[in-house]
Amino acid sequence: MALPACAARALGPPLQPEHGAPARTTCPRRHSRVEAELAASRPGSVSASVRAGPPRGVSHGFNSRQLLDEPLKASASLAGALRAPLFALLPRGRRRRMNDLRRRWDLGSLCRALLTRGLAALGHSLKHVLSAIFSKIFGPLASVGNMDEKSNKLLLALVMFFLFAVIVLQYVCPGTECQLLRLQAFSSPLPDPYRSEDESSARFVPRYNFSRGDLLRKVDFDINGDDLIVFLHIQKTGGTTFGRHLVRNIQLEQPCECRVGQKKCTCHRPGKRETWLFSRFSTGWSCGLHADWTELTSCVPAVVDGKRDARLRPSRNFHYITILRDPVSRYLSEWRHVQRGATWKASLHVCDGRPPTSEELPSCYTGDDWSGCPLKEFMDCPYNLANNRQVRMLSDLTLVGCYNLSVMPEKQRNKVLLESAKSNLKHMAFFGLTEFQRKTQYLFEKTFNMNFISPFTQYNTTRASSVEINEDIQKRIERLNFLDMELYSYAKDLFLQRYQFMRQKEHQEARRKRQEQRKFLKGRFLQTHFQSQSQSQSQNPSQNQSQNPNPNANQSLTQNLIQNLTQNSSQNLSQKENRSNQKQSPGHKQNDSSSGSSGTNDYIGSVEKWR
C-alpha cells in the first residue's frame, strides 16, 4: 500500500544501504535496529541518516533534538556505548518501560530491595512485639512516668545486641562444646551416656541364663586393707589403655606417683609401702611378659608375699580383672603388630612349674622376628599362639596337660579349655569389653566403688579396622579362632546382662530414696498440722469448747487420718513389692518384703511419735 504524500515528505528520503551492506527487502520496522547499528558503526553515514528527519512514527513538529540529547538512564551492564544511539531513537514511553524492566530484573537491585523491605518489616514487627511486652511488664509503672524515646531506643539496642550475641555464640561454639549454652535447668534430660557404643540396637536380648549372684558383682575392696587387684593383660585387647586408666585416671586418697619418662608408677596404699595393684604399669612384668591365668594364679601370691614368713602372711583376696575384644579385630591387630617386629619372646609360658619345650611349642619363624609376614603366612602356621589366644590365656592349662597336645584328643581338649575359660571369666571380679568403653568404666566403678576422673573414650578407628579383608578371609579367621568366638559371645552376653542389672538396681535405689523423701515430707506436714492445732486449742480453750462440744472428735479425726495414711502406704508398698518380686529370686523376695514392712513400721512409729 502506498503512503500518503504528507507522510512521505515527513519521513524524508529513505536510507540507502551503503556499499557492502545487505539490501532491505522486508518490513522497515523489523530492520530499523539493524540500520541503526550499521549507522552507529559508520559515523559518516550516521549523522546523515539520523539527522535527515525525526524517528519513524514521529511528526516534524516533535522536538527530536531534546529526545536525542536527553541523558540515558539505562544500566551500564545491559546497554553499552554502541547501543546508546539505538536506545535514543525509541519513543519516550518505550524507553521508560525498558528502564522499568531493567530495574525490575536486575538481580542486585532485586536482592537489595527484598533485603531492605524484609528488614523494615522485621523491625516493624519487632517494634510492635517489644512494645506489647514492655506494656505488659512496665504497665504498673505507667503512673510513675513513661519512658522517654531515648530509653526506648537504648533498650531496643540492648535487646538486639543480646540476640546478635546469642546467634554468634551458636556459630562459634555449637553443640556441647560451649558450656555457656548448656542450660540444664530449662532443657530436656540429657541422653543416656551409656547408650549402645557399637552402633547396634539399644535393646539387648539375652541368650544365656545367669543367676543373680553371677550378675551382681560387688567387691568389698578396701584399699587400706590387704586385698590386691590383679590385671590379666591379653595382647591387643586395649589392655594398655585400661592399665593407664588404673594408674593415672582414678580418684584415690593417695594417687599413684607416675614420673615422666618411666612406664611404671608407684601405687601404694595410704600410709603404707605396699601396692594395691598388680599390673604392667605398677609392678611391671613380675610374672613374665603377658602372663596368663595359669601363671598369675601360681606366681602372684609368691611374688607379693614371698619374702614374708608363712605365719606372718595376711589373708588377702586377689581380685582378677581383664579386658576382652572381638576375636577377628584382635587377630588382625596382632598380625599387624607382628608385622612391625613384635615377638613376645620374653613370655615364659610357665605351666605346672616348667616352661614348654621346643617340641611342645614350636616357632613359626626362623629369624629374629616375623616382621613383614603376609596375612596368609600368619594364618597358615599351625603353632601360632594368636589362634584362640583369649581362651588359652583365661583357662587353666593344667587341666589339659599344659602345652602337651598328646595328653588328650583335640576335641576334648578344646571343650575343657572353653569351659575352664568361661568359668574363670564368670567368677572374676570384673572384666570389660574393648567395644564398650563407657559401660566398662561404669561396671568397674560399681564393682570396686572407685571412680575415674575423666570418662573413657571409644576409639572405633584402629589398625585392625584399617585392614580390608574379603568375606572368605574373615570366615577363615573365625574358623581359626572358633573357641574365642564362642567365648566372646558368652562374655558379651554376661557383660550386657550385668550392665542392665546394675542400671536397674541403681534406678530402684533412686526410686526408694524418693519414696523416703515423700514419707518424710508427709510426716513433716502432719507434725506442723498437729502443732498448729494444739496451739490454737491452748490459746482459745473456751471458744473451742463452745464450738466443739465433743473434745474427742478432733482426736478421733486425727486417728482416722493416721490410719488411712498408714493403710494407703502399706498397700502401695505391698503392691510394689509384689511387682518387683515377680522379677526377682525367692531369696530376694524375703529381703524386700522385710525391708518394706520395716519401712512401714518406721513410718507408723514416726507418725505416732509426732502425734
The conformation of residue 54, written as its DSSP 8-state character, comes to P
pLDDT, mean of residues 169-198: 48
- The three state secondary structure string of 476-518 is HHHHHCHHHHHHHHHHHHHHHHHHHHHHHHHHHHHHHHHHHHH
Q: Where are the domains of the chain?
A: 211-509
pLDDT surpassing 70 at residue 390: yes
pLDDT surpassing 90 at residue 487: yes
Tallying the residues shown for the chain, one arrives at: 611
From CA 256, how far away is CA 266, in angstroms rounded?
A: 5
pLDDT value of position 96: 77
From CA 125, how far away is CA 133, in angstroms rounded?
A: 12
pLDDT surpassing 80 at residue 267: yes
Percent of the chain with pLDDT over 70: 62
pLDDT surpassing 80 at residue 253: yes
pLDDT value of position 159: 80
Least confident of 41-50, 481-490, 517-526: 41-50
- The segment with the largest mean pLDDT, out of 4-8, 261-265, 395-399, is 395-399
Would you call 129 helix, strand, or coil by DSSP? helix
444-470: pLDDT as tens digits: 999 999 999 999 998 877 777 788 899
pLDDT band at 386 (very low <50, low <70, confident <90, very high): very high
Least confident of 70-84, 289-303, 366-380, 471-485: 70-84
Least confident of 76-90, 206-220, 265-279, 526-540: 76-90
Side-chain-side CA neighbours of 388 within 13 Å: the count stands at 18
Question: Are the CB atoms for 129 and 98 separated by under 8 Å?
Answer: no
Element holding 102 (H helix, E strand): helix 92-105
| pTM of full prediction above 0.75 | no
pLDDT value of position 582: 52
From CA 67, how far away is CA 49, in angstroms rounded?
A: 16
77 against 216, higher pLDDT: 216
79-113: pLDDT as tens digits: 444 445 555 666 777 777 777 766 665 666 667 77
From CA 379, how far away is CA 481, in angstroms rounded?
A: 11
User: What would you report as the CA-atom Rg of the chain, rounded to the nearest whole angstrom?
Assistant: 46
187 against 149, higher pLDDT: 149
pLDDT, mean of residues 148-172: 72
Considering 233, 245, 290, 319, which one is annotated as catalytic? 290
496-507: pLDDT as tens digits: 999 999 999 999
pLDDT value of position 144: 44
From CA 364, how far away is CA 246, in angstroms rounded?
A: 35
C-alpha cell at 225: 586393707
pLDDT, mean of residues 30-38: 51
211-509 is a CATH 3.40.50 domain: yes
pLDDT surpassing 80 at residue 589: no
pLDDT surpassing 80 at residue 136: no
From CA 277, how far away is CA 121, in angstroms rounded?
A: 70
Would you call 490 helix, strand, or coil by DSSP? helix
pLDDT value of position 427: 96
Catalytic site includes residue 19: no
Average pLDDT, rounded, for the chain: 75
Question: Are the CB atoms for 565 and 600 separated by under 8 Å?
Answer: no
